[in-house]
Chains A and B, each alone.
Chain A
Amino acid sequence: MTEKKLTFNLVTPQKQVVEDLPVDMVVLPALLGEMGILPGHIQTVVQLGMGSLRYKQKGKTEVFAVLGGFAEVSNNVVNVFAEGADLAGEIDEEAEKQRIKALKESLSNKDADIDFELAELEIKQALTRMKVKKRRF
């Protein structure tokens, strides 16, 4: 009997990051905690929070920083709809730090004409990316 695999799709509004990739396991950053998906998982729809998404393929693990979204598991197909997804290896910590610093400065400047909610969200996203980058699996 051939080993069962999951078919993994990761799409963001900007592009299709991963397409129809056979993987052994996917770990989703669900809103209520991380959630591991193995082949044969029950059909599920979950809302994703910000955090790390990982998949295992032949013993190798790839990590993404995901910024919220949804995931659907159905018939061994995992579809992830993420607001944003960055490969952990491609995250530039220094750039993220700079971005946070700039955003915090504009937040503390009361006269600045910026969208506070948006700025806070962006800080959160940058922090998430940094956290994912630092974490070791």
Chain B
Amino acid sequence: MESLRDIRQNIKAIESTKQIMQTMKMISNARIRRAQEAMLSARPFAKKMLEMVDDLRTDVLALPQAPEEAENIASRFFTNLSGDKNKVGLVAITGDKGLTGSFNAVVLRSVLQFLKKNEGKEIYIFAIGKKGRDFLSRLKMKNLHIVYESVGIFPKVSYAHAALLGERLLSVFFEEKLGSITLIYNDFKSLASQHLVEEQMLPFTFHTPASTPKEEGHDFEYEPGLLEIFKLLIPRLIKAHMYRVLLESQAANLAATMNAMDSASKNAGELVTALGIKLNKVRQAGITNEILDIVNGAEALNS
């Protein structure tokens, strides 16, 4: 049986852990508002830009293949015929720290599934977040190349981070002739829930089929030319997209921390109550025993 002192110490330890958790929760709570605002205001840019690229798709695909550039630069983003199917890219975004519930675990699980699915292929990894980076660099698979890593950017993601990632992404995409690039991250749904997103980023996928070039309403005028615009537009879009994804992930991370800490401090509270009852019982038992001793002694004297 535990002594009174042990129980008291236990209660003290749990109380102080609870306090730390509550503080962490409050920190995330304060940060999440800003993260959420940044995320919400970055959403329209990326979304509208994607719509514009969708509008241009028909014209890009209709470009003559004769000048080498057409397939190499523009239509690679849509059809990617010259990409090597045995080379795939993966962008995995996790958090830097633990104590976030299943936030990192779900990403890593689906990363593992991705690796399994693409067994035998050369996989180029872009690891964002310390947890994912550490996990992936421990894997030691021969066909795994970590080509970009970025840690410690949360919770202060800026456009510069997204720009660096986007540039590296494009340069690897072209130099290594990747067949596709997949993105795995946590999407911010609400304060209470995040959901995992696994999407193919390059080549672009659109839900609607490309309209035929002759269809009405699809003759755009370009200033300067379509290819010139496209060459500048794509890096811009990729960076905007990365920026949005990083912000989503950041907000989701904070929300996950908040929830995890909330339930943890609730649990700690319950533990403290349970231990308090136990403490009282043990103390009472001790007192009863002492009284019993005294009464027994007195009885022995009387008789």
A-side residues, CB < 8 A to B, are 9, 11-16, 19, 30-32, 35, 42-47, 69-70, 72, 74-75, 79, 81
Contact = CB atoms under 8 A, between A and B. Distances in A.
Contacts, number: 73
A71 to B, nearest CB: 9
Contact of A13 (B219, B223, B240): B240
Nearest to B221: A44
Interface stretch (B37-45, B191-199, B273-281): B37-45
Interface stretch (B69-77, B173-181, B224-232, B254-262): B224-232
B282 to A, nearest CB: 60
B144 interface: no
Main secondary structure on A side of the interface with B = strand
B236 A45 contact: no
Given A13-B243, A74-B55, A44 B223 contact: yes
Contacts of A45: 52, 56, 220-223, 226, 229
A19 B219 CA distance: 25
A80 to B, nearest CB: 10
B266 interface: no
Given A42-B221, A43-B219, A46-B223, A13 B45 contact: yes
Main secondary structure on B side of the interface with A = helix
A53 to B, nearest CB: 15
Closest 6 CB pairs of A and B: A15-B41, A16-B44, A44-B221, A11-B45, A46-B223, A43-B220
A70 B229 contact: yes
Contacts of A69: 236
Contacts of A79: 48, 52
B222 A70 contact: no
A74 B226 CA distance: 15
Interface string B237-258: 0011001000000000000000
A11 B48 contact: yes
B217 interface: yes
Given A13-B45, A16-B44, A81 B223 contact: no
Given A15-B41, A16-B41, A74-B55, A44 B220 contact: yes
14 contacts: A11-B44, A12-B45, A16-B45, A19-B44, A30-B223, A42-B219, A44-B220, A45-B52, A45-B220, A45-B223, A45-B226, A72-B52, A75-B217, A81-B49
B41 to A, nearest CB: 4
A106 B45 CA distance: 33
A43 B217 CA distance: 8
Contact of B222 (A35, A44, A74): A44
Interface residues of B, number: 28
B13 interface: no
B233 interface: yes
Query: Which of A9, A13, A31 has its CB near the most chain B CB atoms (within 10 A)?
Result: A13
Contacts of A30: 223
B159 interface: yes
Nearest to A16: B44
Contacts of B239: 13
A90 B171 CA distance: 38
A36 to B, nearest CB: 13
B222 to A, nearest CB: 5
Contact of B224 (A9, A11, A19, A47): A47
Contacts of B221: 42-45
B48 A13 contact: no
A70 B42 contact: no
A47 B45 contact: no
Contacts of A42: 219, 221
Contacts of A44: 220-223
Query: Which of A15, A45, A46, A69 has its CB near the most chain B CB atoms (within 10 A)?
Result: A45
B171 to A, nearest CB: 18
B48 A81 contact: yes
B41 A14 contact: yes
Nearest to B232: A47
